[in-house]
Amino acid sequence: MKQSQLFTKTRKEVPSDEVSKNAQLLIRAGFVHKEMAGVYSLLPLGLRVVNKINAIIREEMNAIGGQEVHMSALQDPDMWKKTDRWEGDAKDIWFKTQLGNGGELGLGFTHEEPITNLMKNHISSYKDLPKSVYQIQTKYRNEVRAKSGVLRGREFLMKDLYSFCKTQEEQDAFYAQAQQAYTNVFARVGLGERTYMTFASGGMFSKYSHEFQTLCDSGEDTIYVHEQKGIAVNKEVLTDEVLNDLGIVRDDLIEKPAVEVGNIFSLGTRFSDALGLSYLDASGVQKSVVMGSYGIGPTRTMGVIAEVYGDDKGLVWPKSVAPFDVHVIVLESKEGADVHAYAEKITTDIEQAGYEVLYDDRPLTAGAKFADADLIGIPMRLVISEKHMHNNTVEMKGRTEADARVVNASEICSLLV
Ligand code: ATP
Ligand code: MG
């Protein structure tokens, strides 16, 4: 893509009310647009990053048998009243609205109720189980504190997967597969080294649930990390009993700030009982379906990556989620030589080898282009000047490398791998 065609502009200033590092960088680099507190629109570069994160999540969810759907955000209160989540504790999080004809509806903050209701049409026998269904869909939450940029949106993307099993044993086996799939997702998006699967409070049907927490200075959560064993525990479950269970002692744990990027939860039959999702087992006995739910926040994940890798010059994307693989920057010739034709040829060659290229063909100074490239944070940069054109070379440099190297044009593709 030619950068001269990209409608978004980088900017030096951020909205004065924006205090979070992730949103400051993402706004300045033109990845997101701030509509209001806690509400961000994705611009082309940001959408590319989110799409890459989503593609990785899809592959891992499909690999454990997840089937993708896309459900409505509009929610029927009757369903939520049956599980006691329309009023009470959950009500602060709802965005609710009146219908023109006098009814009421909600904007979904999660989807256990509608998916359970939906599955009643498709599950009736033990032969229909196990199944798992997921979506990557927009959620709405009336978050009180929305000062963490895209880490805590009032509207945000969630991948939510729900599992439907015959027995708790079958559910436990699926849960273990989901744990591995989540570990894979966070490794693949570049957060593996700083993301822990933490022990969290389990709710009604299992002793623990698990959260995936990424170490991050600005994180709102606090986790306790056992570095040697690679185990971590959430603050709310840090008790003697839990430490005993895990065979660790408090003195070996280090307190660290973190952001929850995902979580997995055994739900037992809470939702299937309340909404009537049951099946007939092999001997004709009616039983409740055993469920689990599994969330990941793709937009929060983008924000965490911006937060933990961004430096004083701008964003720094891991290869796997970068908006483009390569940033080609052509420097104008002072003598009027056509360096563009040479740079375009190189761009086409790299694209034909399967790489995505942002080609900076804008008539700006080298300094302005480099500053933008630093801000946008594409992991590999090729700078092309008139001198390079004459020598049939380019200058190659990683986003955070101090030194550049000059390589022959014919070598580029083999060096990009
Ligand atoms: P938190 O404790 O941070 O509020 P949560 O426990 O409410 O998170 P879940 O309801 O489990 O989160 O949602 C599943 C996933 O969705 C989370 O792990 C997170 O990645 C993402 N998520 C939750 N709330 C938000 C939000 N307001 N903005 C962006 N992503 C979110
Ligand atoms: Mg929350």
The number of the ligand nearest the C-alpha atom of 297 reads: 1
ω before 130 within 30° of 0 (cis)?
yes
Ligand showing the shortest atom-to-Cα distance for residue 146: 1
Read out DSSP for 235-300?
GGG-SHHHHHHHT--GGG-EEEEEEEEEEEEEEETHHHHHHT-EEE-TTS-EEEPEEEEEEE-HHH
Q: Which protein residue has the closest C-alpha to ligand 1 atom 19?
A: 297
Distance (angstroms) between ligand 2 centre and the Cα of 319 equals 29
Give the span between the Cα atoms of 80 and 112, in whole angstroms: 9
Cβ burial 237-275 (10 Å sphere, 16+ → b, else e): bbeeebbeebebeeeebeebebbbbbbbbbbbbbbbebb
Residues with CB under 6 A from ligand 1: 110, 141, 143, 152-153, 156, 158, 260-263, 295-297, 299-300
| Ligand 1 closest atom vs CA 259 | 3
Question: What is the side-by-side strand order in the sheet with 74-75?
Answer: 74-75, 104-107, 95-98
So what's the pLDDT on residue 205? Answer: 64
Count of residues in the chain: 417
- Over 90: is that where the pLDDT of 206 sits? no
Task: With cut-offs at 50, 70 and 90, classify the pLDDT of residue 92.
Answer: confident
Mean pLDDT on 173-199: 97
Look at residue 291 in the predicted model and tell me its pLDDT. 98
What's the DSSP call for residue 2? B
d(CA 253, CA 246): 12
122-143 pLDDT per residue, tens: 999 999 999 999 999 999 999 9
- Torsion, CA 122, CA 123, CA 125, CA 129, rounded to 10: 110
pLDDT of residue 198: 96
pLDDT confidence of residue 197: 96
Torsion, CA 21, CA 24, CA 25, CA 27, rounded to 10? 150
Per-residue pLDDT at 296 exceeds 90: yes
Write the CB contacts of 416 (distance below 8 Å, at least 6 apart in sequence): 325, 326, 350, 353, 355, 380
**Ligand 1: centre distance to CA 110 (Å):** 10
Distances in Å between the Cα of 373 and the Cα atoms of 17, 91, 102, 381 are: 25, 44, 53, 8
Confidence of residue 417 (pLDDT cuts 50, 70, 90): confident
Q: Is 70 exceeded by the pLDDT of residue 203?
A: no
Q: Which ligand is nearest to the CA of 158?
A: 1
**Residue 204, pLDDT score:** 60
Max Cα–Cα distance, the chain, nearest Å = 86
Q: By the 8 A CB rule, do 122 and 56 touch?
A: no
Residue nearest to atom 22 of ligand 1 (CA): 297
The band of 156, judged by pLDDT with boundaries at 50, 70 and 90, is: very high
The answer to whether 292 touches 163, Cβ cutoff 8 Å, is: yes
34's enclosing H/E stretch is strand 32-36
- Ligand 2 midpoint to CA 142 (Å): 10
Least confident of 203-207, 297-301, 331-335: 203-207
Looking at residue 91, its pLDDT comes to 67
User: What DSSP element (H or E) covers 233?
Assistant: strand 231-234
Summarize the confidence of residues 214-239 as an average pLDDT.
94
Report residue 37 as tokens.
Answer: 């507190």
Mean pLDDT of 305-326: 98
Atom of ligand 1 nearest to the CA of 297: 20
Q: What is the CA radius of gyration of the chain?
A: 25
Report d(CA 313, CA 298) in Å as an integer: 24
Say yes or no to pLDDT of 227 above 80: yes
pLDDT at 14: 86
Choose one of 53, 195, 260, 304 to mutate for the ligand 1 pocket test, by most ligand atoms within 8 angstroms of C-beta.
260
Average pLDDT, rounded, for the chain: 96
Instruction: Give residue 226's pLDDT.
Output: 95
> Residue 244: pLDDT above 70?
yes
pLDDT at 89 over 80: no
Confidence of residue 51 (pLDDT cuts 50, 70, 90): very high
Average pLDDT over residues 381-409: 97
What pLDDT is recorded for position 290?
98
Going by C-alpha positions, the residue among 191, 209, 186, 207 that lies closest to residue 199 is: 209
Mean pLDDT of 90-113: 92
Q: Is the pLDDT of residue 88 over 90?
A: no
pLDDT value of residue 114: 98
